Structure 1
Amino acid sequence: MDEFIRCFEEAWNVARFEEVLEKEPSAWKLLEDEKNQERLVSKCWLEKKPLDIFAISKLLKKLLVSLEDRGIEASADIYKTFNRSRLPPDSQYNPALHDGRVLPFYHSRGVLLQSGTTGLCSWPAAWCLAEFAISDVGQSIFQGASLLELGCGTGVGGIFTAALLRDNKDSLDAERKLFLTDVHNDVLAVAQINADAAKEAKLHTEVHELDWCSYDRRKLEELLDQTDIVCGADIFFEPCLFPDLTKLLHDCLTYKPCVRIILAATMRNEETWRKFLEECKGKKLRVAALGNCLDLEEYFVYERSSILIVEVSLE
């Protein structure tokens, strides 16, 4: 029974579960007791391990099928937990970082996306950006840097990138700063919630409004004065904004030539990406590929479609 419980407590791995079934067939006798079933289900921490929900859901499904095959009635708790695992997760997440620390963040999975509110969701490119930052190449770029995130949305990309790279995890690093920027009021409110939560990771985080279409050049320069890297994740799905976005990138580089611009781009549509590259060329910006999500060590669970990490610089 202890091996069963470990399957649910640690790995949520179906293959491991099947292996235990072969080793401990007598455990099924114990699972006829509803209390023992509830002991297993109590280990499925959907709220504390939201990034593992898909694995937990598969394991619960396997348990239900296995119980049914053996004529054992599954408890209501198993069905209830399985059904919850199939629904969009709650807004409050508590994902674990790779060193065992837990950093909460807030986002919305069930929101109806409207103009300007795509930032209420956490997109795969944000997780990819964080994974790239702790790769060998990424660390040579990001280590010790202060960040300014464009189109931050929930702030996941910038916050987790900064948190994973912290050298001293027990005290506030006042030298390194993270500036989260976006434009929609609802999105900025969510970013502020996560900026406040980031204090748990000892991050100096500020939220600022930055409208690509009509920004205050002086305020941008004030942020750039404190910034080493401008970053962004999945900010390329509105071609009508590319002229303003590329102008902003050009302004960043001309004001502070030593600043580096690192972006995570989901390749959804070749034509959209081509238009972005054309706008960059027109602004005399160079776009160079640094990596791909498929080549990165996996720290987070997300849809690993084609996500490129690129650097934008002056020609």
Structure 2
Amino acid sequence: MPAYAQRRGSPTAAATDNTKPVAIIPFQLVNRQVIIPVLVSGSKDTLHFIFDTGAEVSILHTTTAARLQLKSAGNAFMTGTNNAMAKTDMATINALYLKELRLPYVKVYLENLSNLGPVDGIIGVALLKLYIVKIDYRSQQIVLYKQGKTPVNNAGRLLHFQLNFSTPVIDASIQLPDGRRLPGHYHITTGGDYGILFNWPYVDKNKLNTVLPTTNTDRVQDMLKVLYYINSSVPSLEMGGHSIAAVPVSYSKDIDDLGVFTEVAGSIGYDVWKDFTLTINYDRKELYLE
């Protein structure tokens, strides 16, 4: 007769107990990016990944993949910030470790990330959505909980969000220099090294390029081409009852991050989130700002 054994305690209770974190991951802020330490199977070296709620997939730097002797397991298409499609090799990491958390068989896209500085990869939503994610900028740590009810020790204000493909989108509004307020839907992009990055259709529709004074310009290499950004600022950004003054903003005619359900005004990045602790419950579409 077959015999079945189980660990002590209730498996059902253990599966739904999200009051204690499954991992606490320290991070560093480098060039306004959240950088976390990562270990992978077959290597003793600590790798450094950007932790980005705005990246829909996980990416491994091609140089790092070669060092790890990872072989391509086929290819797929990736979309850059200007919606241009690029054919990209893919590979599978047997196991990826975030401190005490082990993630088996992680699919990664192989891309040259040399323009991002000394990083080995990007952790995207494909992995983040498996957990409740708390990003504490003050303590510089990321706390991961099992899916379920958002932990009761969270003291932030609740905002419900929608998903644009896999990226959380919240409602917010900006104040223009002439005093007008413009509402919009914005991606939550912790890996964005900006305050707000507008989509060009939103800029063009609301004539922001004629309303916002130019502070300076940037020339940035994207996946496929060089992009030219115009930088400015808005008097304030309001979201979930919080008002943030003098927010830096950028836009480019090549930036159009399409919305699957509605117009997306742009993305909110590090220069805004750095003043908060964010708790993101992907399963219940809840964002707490503390």
TM-score (ref. length: structure 1): 0.26
Structure showing the higher helix proportion among its residues: 1
- Select the structure with the greater relative contact order (CA < 8 A; seq sep ≥ 6): 2
Structure showing the higher strand proportion among its residues: 2
TM-score (ref. length: structure 2): 0.28
Higher Rg = 1
